[in-house]
Structure formats: C-alpha cells, structure tokens
C-alpha cells in the first residue's frame, strides 16, 4: 500500500476483526513525490505519493496497521530504465537497500525498534504464508556507514532511487539452507567457521535474531526472508532474481 486512505481502510478492517494483512515498501516510507527526478530510477508502481501519505504509512508501521515491509524488488535492464520518468519501465531494485534504508531511517531515528523491524521483514511474512525459518540468516555490520552505489550491487538490476543516500548496515554474509551463498570480500576468512557455528545454533534453537560479538565489533544476525512478494533483503539471492 502507498496511500493514507489505504492505511485508514485497513486499520478499520482490523478493528472489526477482519483477517487482513498488508505490506508497503521502503521507498514509500522514506520518500515522497517532492523527491521525484526526471530519471527512470524513480519510476515505480504505485508511484511515490505525498508527504501526508508517507507520514500515514510510517504511523501505520508504528501502530501495527501495516504488517510487512517488502523489498518490491523489480530489476530491469539499463536500457529499460534509461527512457526518463515517463517512458521507463515500472519498477526499482530493493534487495540490497531495503534493510540498510529501514535500519538507518526508521530504527536509528527511534521510529521503531530493531525487534519491530525484524517482525516486519522476517517474522510476519513467514507467519502469514506459513514458511518455516529453516537455516537461512545473514550477518550485518550495523556500524558501517557508506553511500549507496548501484555499481556495487550483486543484482543485475541497478535502478534505485536511493543512489547516493548514506546508510548504516553492511551485509557481511548470507547463509541459505546452511550454505554460504554470499560473503563480502573484505570479511576475514575466520568468519566462515563462525557461520558454520551459527548454522548449528540456528538449526537447534529457532531464534529470530540475536546480537553477537566478533573482533570487538557488534553484528546482528537476521534470518533471510523470502515469501511470495516478500523477497530476501540480502545479497546472494539477487543473482537468481
């Protein structure tokens, strides 16, 4: 959803005990139509809305009206996104920016807690679609600050409205079904052994997130989320999508 009217309708439906859930995307929570540029990387469906709509969506995240945050990942070729705002294909990529953007602009600003973000991106989608957690998780350095650069994306799609944004939260590794499918090049090789330890820990303890310490730096382990339109928000899966 992307409008304040949708938030109001769903909030009323939930108050009447209707079995309904909804999702929104990161760009609708931190951007509005005043930020549009004549560039295909800003063309998405639904389009960016007003600041009032954005504020209503954030409030819906805070009060529980909105259940999930989806990446809305829609990769296109450079040619398809090079025709300007009017004629470019609909859709932007979101796998590699969803968590850093939400962590930086919702959690670090104290709009929501980290636990709430994990609920929105991991727990709620799996519960709604009855998808078991399995042995899928990722390791993040929450302290690393960097500028979003599409040239660094693993995904073949590069069109993102967040190009140039400063964010916190770098994915160091992604584990799917107990196998390392992505590892940041700069990660120390000893991380491999640690990930294998995590694999057995996760398999036996059914955690959803916990803090761990490696070389005096705080990392956060977050299970990977894949459910219908709720795609993994970590590298490693983007090569398939």
Point out the residues that are catalytic: 72
Instruction: Select from 5, 229, 24 the least CA-distant residue to 120.
Output: 24
How are beta strands 68-69 and 23-24 bridged, if at all? parallel
In angstroms, what is the C-alpha Rg of the chain?
18
Residue ranges of alpha helices (H) inside 114-217 are 114-118, 124-129, 190-205
Residues β-bridged to residue 214: 217
In this structure, how many other beta carbons lie within 10 angstroms of the beta carbon of residue 154?
A: 15
Q: Cβ of 19: how many Cβ atoms within 10 Å?
A: 6
Tokens of 208: 């959803």
Residue for token digits 């709604």? Answer: 128
Please give the helix or strand (H or E) that residue 170 lies within, else none.
strand 166-176
Helices (H), 33-93: 51-63, 84-87
Contact partners, residue 235, CB within 8 Å, separation at least 6? 95, 96, 153, 154, 155, 171, 174, 182
Spatial distance between the Cα atoms of 113 and 209, rounded to a whole number of angstroms: 13
What is the distance between the alpha carbons of residues 93 and 237, in angstroms, rounded to a whole number? 13
């Amino acid at each position: 959803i992307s409008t304040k009217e949708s938030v109001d309708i769903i909030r009323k439906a939930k108050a009447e005990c209707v079995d309904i859930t909804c999702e929104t995307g990161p760009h609708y929570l931190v951007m509005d139509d005043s930020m549009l540029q004549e560039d295909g990387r800003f063309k998405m469906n639904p389009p960016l809305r007003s600041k009032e709509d954005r504020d209503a969506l954030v409030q819906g995240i805070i009060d529980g009206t909105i259940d999930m945050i989806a990446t809305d990942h829609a990769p296109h070729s450079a040619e398809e996104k090079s025709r300007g705002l009017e004629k470019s294909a609909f859709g932007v990529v979101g796998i590699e920016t969803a968590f850093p953007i939400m962590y930086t602009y919702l959690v670090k600003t104290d709009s929501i807690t980290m636990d709430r973000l994990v609920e929105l991106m991991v727990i709620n989608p799996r519960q709604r679609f009855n998808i078991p957690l399995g042995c899928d998780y990722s390791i993040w350095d929450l302290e690393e600050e960097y500028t979003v650069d599409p040239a660094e994306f693993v995904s073949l799609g590069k069109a993102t409205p967040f190009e140039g944004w400063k964010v916190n939260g770098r994915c160091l590794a992604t584990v799917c079904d107990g196998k390392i499918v992505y590892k940041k090049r700069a990660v120390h090789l000893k991380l491999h052994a640690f990930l294998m330890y995590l694999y057995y820990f996760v398999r036996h303890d059914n955690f959803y997130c916990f803090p761990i310490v490696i070389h005096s730096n705080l990392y956060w382990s977050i299970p990977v989320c894949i459910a219908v339109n709720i795609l993994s928000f970590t590298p490693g899966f983007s090569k398939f999508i």
